[in-house]
Structure 1
Amino acid sequence: MQPTVWDRTLDAGLSAGHTAVEEGLLRATRSDVPFITEAARRRLSARGPRLMPLLVLLAARFGDPDAPGVVPAAVVVELTHRATQLHDEVRDETGVRRRGPGAAGPAPDANWDNTVAVLTGDFLFARASHLLAGLGPQAVRLQAAAFKQLVTGQILETAGPPDGHDPVAHHLAVLTGRCGSLTAVSGRLGAMTAGAPPAVADALDHYGERLGVAHRLTAEADTARSADALSPDRRPTLPLLLLRSRGGANGDQELYDLLTAGPAEWERHAEAVARLRAHPVLAEVRREAVRQAQAARTALSPLPDGPAKSALDELCRAVVRRATADGD
């Protein structure tokens, strides 16, 4: 992932940085055991933008982008991100979910796949920790705090909102932990390793947190386009929470029940997805994504003007464009 950059110096710097990060990821996933190398690299080559390394590289432009710790910091956050994805998929039984409507029972090798996924995630965490140690105690503390926030978000999600607590506010708190923590620490680590002033690191931390939540909300709105993404064993998302909060109004409870039903209702699942695509709750989710993206843009205000700030702003604008593409 890379924003549209019209500054040749920044464009060249980001390209060189991304190349160095990819080389660092290859080194970090090399093992004496070929199976481990293959499993780790297969995960890193999976679809998905390298948003976290990009934030590290852009944050570093507010200091010395060629400082020796910048690229290792970018590698660390990507390894951590991919490791948490692997553990999340096992926790949420994604392997079963991806088989889609019509499949009966778990895959024959589900236990094997889950075991390999967990251990591969552990391997990526170990490699990230090894690199992190070379960045010094402050970097270790920052990453530990971010990981604590991420796990707290996962626990909050698993526990659900307490009685009497607004489930939408609870969900946004979950996303701040699960999705905002790594994007936030990416900005802070990039600034820190480049020697940028603390005020810059603070601004980039807040920016990254809001941007991470905005990205996740746009993804949750996009799930309405895919029946597979709405299969019953997935995590709660804001569209579903908003549907549930509306209760029986206009058949919303029936729609919610269909979208979260078990295999017996999968034949009607496509119909339910079509109904959700036209439902007002998606516009509400998109508006919240735009609010989060605008909060990220506001966090950039203290930063000095220049190509890096413009690129960070463009990332926010891209979220807004995506969120409003099919809006009302």
Structure 2
Amino acid sequence: MSQPVTSEFTDFVTDKLDLVEEELARQAGADTPFVTEAANHIISAGGKRFRPLLVVLSSQLARQDPDDTGTVSDQDLVRAAVVMELTHVASLYHDDVMDEATLRRGAESANQRWGNSVAIMVGDYLFARASEAVAGLGTDFVRLQAQTFARLVQGQIAETRGPQPGEDPLQHYLDVVADKTGSLISAAAVFGGMVAGLPQTQLAVLRRFGEEIGLVFQLADDLLDITSTRTGKTPGIDLREGVATLPVLLLRASSDPADQPVRDLLDADLSSDEALARALEGLRASHVMDEARAGIRSRADRARSELAALPAGPARDALAQLCDEVVSRSS
């Protein structure tokens, strides 16, 4: 059974994430002020830093005593966390071009500000910086980062093409989420374990845990497009752009005639705020919202169950707590 995370361990993790933040800004520096500004555009806008957090927590799994400072070097830990976040941020520049996004983290997107070509090249630049940094960790890290980026790209391609004839749209969506989000979050958990020198059996556990919690993270985030304005995210963006997320796919898969009026609302022209508000209201009142939340909780429970095979201690407790925190975002 997990224990409450102590303030000492929380402070320890915060200190490491502060080091990561400093190194992120340094790694995004370039030979010209313009590239430095553009490369820092998304980084400086903030973000959840979920992937660096997983690197830090996983790196402390061998630590039994909450007051133990551990034996993992700050240099390797920070480098591993920065590689994961730079890879993630690089993919965001590319995603915004693909999605023709105008906002990212509440600010003007890079493609909107400087154009698609610059945004694509800045994403390439940040991935190059991540590749340079990961080389200092060794070939096993390089291999995992390359495999992860390959999955990211394949997920983006699959999302762009959409489900093919005869393919289940819901399974297609889950596969895309696994490749685009789960793969990198899984790699972040494994990177932390590799930095700590954990055995292969425990790295395999972290890989599975990361895949599950990565899906939970994205599914919960997608639900916020419908349910919440508390995060500063304007609700209904996915609906208006025709992006089918879990509740919408569950609704479309339903054979209940009572669901047809809500489907009609979603199929209407959602360009006006009034039409979008009606669609959101109908979807929020639908049974599929509870079904989506139940599915997210089930995946979080599977992720938490994986942790039993990892060493007990403050890091495992923090990972268990993270499962609850990610689920709460969909409430």
- State TM-score, norm by structure 2: 0.86
The equivalences for 1:192-203 within 5 A come to 192-203=194-205
Q: Distance in 2 between matches of 1:172 and 1:148?
A: 17
CA deviations on 1:14-61 (whole Å, 9 max, x unpaired) are 122112111211210111200111112221022420000010011111
Q: Which residue of 1 aligns with 2:159?
A: 157
Q: Distance in 2 between matches of 1:110 and 1:320?
A: 32
SS class of match (1:179): helix
Q: Which residue of 2 aligns with 1:230?
A: 238
Q: Distance in 1 between matches of 2:120 and 2:299?
A: 32
Q: Is the 8 A contact 1:243 1:256 kept in 2?
A: no
Q: Which residue of 2 aligns with 1:103?
A: none
Q: Which residue of 1 aligns with 2:85?
A: 78
Q: Is the 8 A contact 2:61 2:312 kept in 1?
A: no
Q: Distance in 1 between matches of 2:191 and 2:36?
A: 27
Greater alpha carbon shift after TM alignment, 109-118 vs 148-157: 109-118
Give percent identity, aligned residues only.
Answer: 40
Greater alpha carbon shift after TM alignment, 308-317 vs 189-198: 189-198
Give the counterpart of 1:316 among 293, 304, 323.
323
Question: Residues 239, 47 of structure 1: CA spacing in aligned structure 2 closer, same or farther, 3 A cutoff?
Answer: farther
Consecutive unaligned residues of structure 1, counting only runs of 5 or more, are 100-106
SS class of match (2:198): coil
Shift of 1:116: 2.6
Shift of 1:146: 1.0
1:285 aligns with 2:292: yes
Kindly provide the amino acid, as one letter, of the partner of residue 229 in structure 1. I
Q: Distance in 2 between matches of 1:120 and 1:247?
A: 46
Q: Distance in 1 between matches of 2:127 and 2:60?
A: 27
Q: Which residue of 1 aligns with 2:51?
A: 52
Shift of 1:110: 4.3
1:257 aligns with 2:239: no
Q: Which residue of 1 aligns with 2:128?
A: 126
Q: Which residue of 1 aligns with 2:65?
A: none
- State TM-score, norm by structure 1: 0.87
Q: Which residue of 2 aligns with 1:215?
A: 217
Q: Is the 8 A contact 2:46 2:105 kept in 1?
A: no
Consecutive unaligned residues of structure 2, counting only runs of 5 or more, are 63-70, 228-233
Q: Which residue of 1 aligns with 2:10?
A: 11
Kindly provide the amino acid, as one letter, of the partner of residue 145 in structure 2. Q
SS class of match (2:240): coil
The equivalences for 1:243-254 within 5 A come to 243-246=251-254, 249-250=257-258, 251-254=261-264
Q: Is the 8 A contact 1:97 1:234 kept in 2?
A: no
Q: Distance in 1 between matches of 2:104 and 2:187?
A: 31
Q: Distance in 2 between matches of 1:62 and 1:253?
A: 47
Q: Distance in 1 between matches of 2:224 and 2:88?
A: 21
CA deviations on 1:47-90 (whole Å, 9 max, x unpaired) are 42000001001111124432642210100000111111121111
Q: Is the 8 A contact 1:7 1:307 kept in 2?
A: no
